[in-house]
Amino acid sequence: MDAQELIDCLSYFRESVTARRAEAELVGFDGPVVGTCCNFVPEELVWAVGGRTIRLCGGSADWEAEGEKVMPRDVCPVAKSMAALPKMDPRLWGRLDLLVIPGSCDAKMKLADILRRHKAIHVMDVPAVKDSEPARRYWQAEVERLAARIEQLVGRKTTRHALGEAVRLSMRRESLLRALLDLRHGNDGRGALLTGEQFQFVAGASFADEPSRYTDRLAKLVAALLEAQRAGYHAVGPGAPRVMLCGAPLIYPNFKLLNVIREAGAVVVADDSCAGTQRFYQHLAPRDWSRRELLKALADRALLASMCPCFASSDDRMSRIREMARISRADGIVYHQLRTCVLFAAESEILRHELAPAGLPLLVVDTDYSAGDTEQLRTRIAAFLEILATAKPFAASTHG
Amino acid sequence: MRIKRITLWRRIVQTACFAVILYGVFLWEKPVATPLPKIAPGTPRTSLYPRDRALWVSGQDTVLEMYPPTLSCRSIAKGGLFKACAHHMMSENLTWLSDPRKVVPHLLLFLLLSFLFARYWCGWVCPLGAITDFLNGVRKTLGIPGWQVGPATDTFFRGLRHFLLWASLAISLLIALPVLGLKGVNDSLFLVYCQVCPARIIYPVLGGISPCLYDVTDAMTIFLTVLSGGFLLFFLSGFFVPRLWCRVCAIGALVSYFNRGGAAWIKKDPSKCTFCGTCRRCCPMDIEMVYREREKADVTDTACLYCLRCVQECPEQGCLEAKLLGRIVARS
């Protein structure tokens, strides 16, 4: 195996995120630039008109502190750090033609309301119940409304060919992600092929990167990993405790939890994060290639299999978490609860009840962007890994 | 566009069945002997309706004296491979009041074939199904948007196909009874379903003979002419709605009774499902059950044609599988 190739592949994603490469590129981009703040926004609509998208969720404590000047103190740090964008990156902020914010929670909704005074904002109304027919139709209408807004922005209609091309690209990206996830688990018993951090960089780089370049890079990574796997490579030894990470998204540079888990000797083999696995895992499959069906497929993709905790029922999410833990052979679940997010906090309680009969150990970590509790986290993770070591035989038999 | 594996196989089987059922008689000139009894009408037909002159002149020397549970038709030019469809067999024998001993072997064969393959007959064999798939495929290729059948319409279609089946069988029996002054085989209601079935008009054309498009002898034949025209238009609307005719087809309704309890099943492992709705979106019959089911393993709908597209498109490994005779034939 050419180890250098794998390292190069991975460093592309790492540097995209850490050096904010795409962000700098966008400032000089001469097409429409649309900011989003979560996976509910079908980015393909923007790609189809020759534009670029950037998901603006923030993970920095500095940005969060700056955001507190315009947002209340007790709202989610993701929203607060996003509110700091005009101050922290005025060039990118100035370059944005439109900001699409799904009203998936109160923080996002009011964030949109606050930013509306300075920028063209489009709010998408996410229904609270996702598996009812009226909700599905309503959400499809929301996606149509967004498509119209973007067409208005560029002053021309989206052709079905252009939209079809964007959807095809997205489908290719998704199938590559699925191939990557199969490799990541390292289910051949030789240990995981990616660390939690490496995977998080791969997913995170998709926030702002040019989608076709990103997809090509993803294809290269999958090929390099396949080759590495054949050569017997693993990123983390097979003996390391396998942890599934659930809950609120970890957005760079807030990799505190990932670092602590890695330094404690464990490996994150799966996650259900909207900035990780769920970034573009949800299946996109249009019924046919007419414009209407493409829009419907995009709407269904964002809504139906969403694992966002903003919906009234968490049944689908719970069953999905159990299944992901089974597939990835996780020994336990670490639940990342971002302080002040009511939705994730409520679901951690539900998950605790759900997992009790399965005997899968769960650690709920309530934290924020500050580095102050790192040592405390270290102690808790270490204690949890000890529990995993003793509970492992039992966990293996319940979902072996 | 790339055709996926299951769909490719289905297209091959459909094309082969289409060729054999419609043009088989051109390949095998001599009738092949079957152990099944030949049933002849008890009363010779003396009708002078134009439709009777144009049709049923064929169907005299078919290759196989049997009635499969799919739309093989009496009106295929030179008779076709099979005698007619199973529904035709039931209808005409009710009217003829045939000797049960002659009919029972045919009924048993029908039961066996339906039990084994249920609506695989519709999805993989039926030539009319192949035509409607082709029409819809042309639309998809042209990128013309289709029409969506809503839940209320779907419920209506589900009722309508059973109504068409049982009403046509009841009429077939009624006209033979010495009541109401109906004239049995010579009545204008003889084989009433066949008269309005789109296959009666489409198959002859494909075999190069002219179908009887209209019959204005009396009020009933005019009514049936209008109805058959309507049904033909409805069938052609399959351009916009996948498998539109299959949703109301009486032969489909007949075979659909074997969808649950026969040898063909669609199974789901709900714990593996992400509820992404792909199975529902790709389903030509707009079946929701596969998507909705959150507990049970059995997701076989009576409308299911076993095109297996849901199994093919499902992105979750091992979530959906198709079983035939206890064996897994396809798996997501």
Residue contact B145–A292, C-beta within 8 A: yes
Average pLDDT of the residues in A146-165: 96
CATH fold of A22-154 reads Rossmann fold (3.40.50)
pLDDT confidence bin for A344, thresholds 50/70/90: very high
Which residue on chain B is closest to A304 by alpha carbon? B276
Residue contact B274–A292, C-beta within 8 A: no
Average pLDDT of the residues in A55-82: 94
Q: How many CA atoms lie within 13 A of B252 on its CB side?
A: 28
Residue contact B145–A300, C-beta within 8 A: no
A210 vs B: CB within 8 A: no
User: Residue type for A114, please?
Assistant: I
CA dihedral (B128, B134, B140, B143) in degrees, to 10, reads -110
Q: For residue B24, what pLDDT is reported?
A: 83
Cα(A196)–Cα(A267) distance, rounded to whole angstroms? 6
Cα(A301)–Cα(B276) distance, rounded to whole angstroms? 7
**Of B1, B145, B278, which is closest to A283 when you measure between CB atoms?**
B278
Q: For residue B57, what pLDDT is reported?
A: 46
A388 Cβ contact list (under 8 Å, min separation 6): A241, A243, A266, A331, A332, A361, A395
User: Residue type for B330, please?
Assistant: A
Residue contact A300–B140, C-beta within 8 A: no
Residue contact B276–A296, C-beta within 8 A: no
pLDDT confidence bin for B96, thresholds 50/70/90: confident
Residue contact B145–A320, C-beta within 8 A: no
Residue contact B145–A290, C-beta within 8 A: yes
- Is the pLDDT score of A393 beyond 50? no
Q: For residue B204, what pLDDT is reported?
A: 87
Residue contact B275–A322, C-beta within 8 A: no
- Is the pLDDT score of B43 beyond 60? yes
Q: For residue B60, what pLDDT is reported?
A: 60
Cα(B313)–Cα(A340) distance, rounded to whole angstroms? 39
Helix (H, G, I), strand (E, B) or coil at B166: helix
Helix (H, G, I), strand (E, B) or coil at B56: coil
Any idea which architecture B264-331 has in CATH?
A: 2-Layer Sandwich (3.30)
Name chain A contacts of B278, Cβ cutoff 8 Å.
Answer: 283, 285
Lowest mean pLDDT across A112-121, A276-285, B202-211: B202-211
Lowest mean pLDDT across B176-190, B209-223, B257-271: B176-190
Strands B320-324 and A332-338: unpaired
CA distance A357 to chain B (A): 15
ipTM of the complex: 0.90
Name chain B contacts of A300, Cβ cutoff 8 Å.
Answer: 276-277, 281
Name chain B contacts of A177, Cβ cutoff 8 Å.
Answer: none
The predicted-structure confidence for A223-265, as pLDDT tens digits, reads as follows 999 999 888 888 888 889 999 999 999 999 999 999 999 999 9
Name chain A contacts of B313, Cβ cutoff 8 Å.
Answer: 285
pLDDT confidence bin for B26, thresholds 50/70/90: confident
Residue contact A301–B276, C-beta within 8 A: yes
Q: For residue A197, what pLDDT is reported?
A: 95
A297 vs B: CB within 8 A: yes
Residue contact A288–B294, C-beta within 8 A: no
The CA angle A369-A373-A376, to the nearest 5 degrees, is 145
Residue contact B146–A316, C-beta within 8 A: no
Q: For residue B211, what pLDDT is reported?
A: 84
CA distance A286 to chain B (A): 7
Using a CB cutoff of 8 Å and minimum separation of 24, what contacts does A308-312 make?
A308/A38, A308/A39, A308/A40, A308/A104, A308/A126, A308/A274, A309/A343, A309/A344, A309/A346, A309/A347, A310/A104, A310/A105, A310/A126, A310/A128, A310/A343, A311/A128, A311/A129, A311/A130, A312/A128, A312/A129
Name chain B contacts of A288, Cβ cutoff 8 Å.
Answer: 139-140, 143, 145-146
* CB pairs < 8 Å spanning A and B: 61
Which residue did the predictor score with more confidence, B73 or A119?
A: A119
Residue contact B146–A288, C-beta within 8 A: yes
Which residue on chain B is closest to A327 by alpha carbon? B272
Residue contact A287–B281, C-beta within 8 A: yes
Cα(B192)–Cα(B201) distance, rounded to whole angstroms? 14
Residue A217 tokens, joined: 């890079």
A304 vs B: CB within 8 A: yes
Which residue on chain A is closest to B140 by alpha carbon? A288
| Mutate which: B274, B295, B309, vs A, most A CBs within 10 A | B274
Which residue on chain B is closest to A160 by alpha carbon? B143
- Is the pLDDT score of A398 beyond 60? no
Cα(A82)–Cα(A63) distance, rounded to whole angstroms? 8
Which residue did the predictor score with more confidence, B223 or B2?
A: B223
pLDDT confidence bin for B56, thresholds 50/70/90: low
Domain boundaries, chain B: 5-254, 264-331
CA distance B184 to chain A (A): 47
The predicted-structure confidence for B143-192, as pLDDT tens digits, reads as follows 899 998 989 999 999 999 999 999 999 999 998 887 777 777 778 888 89
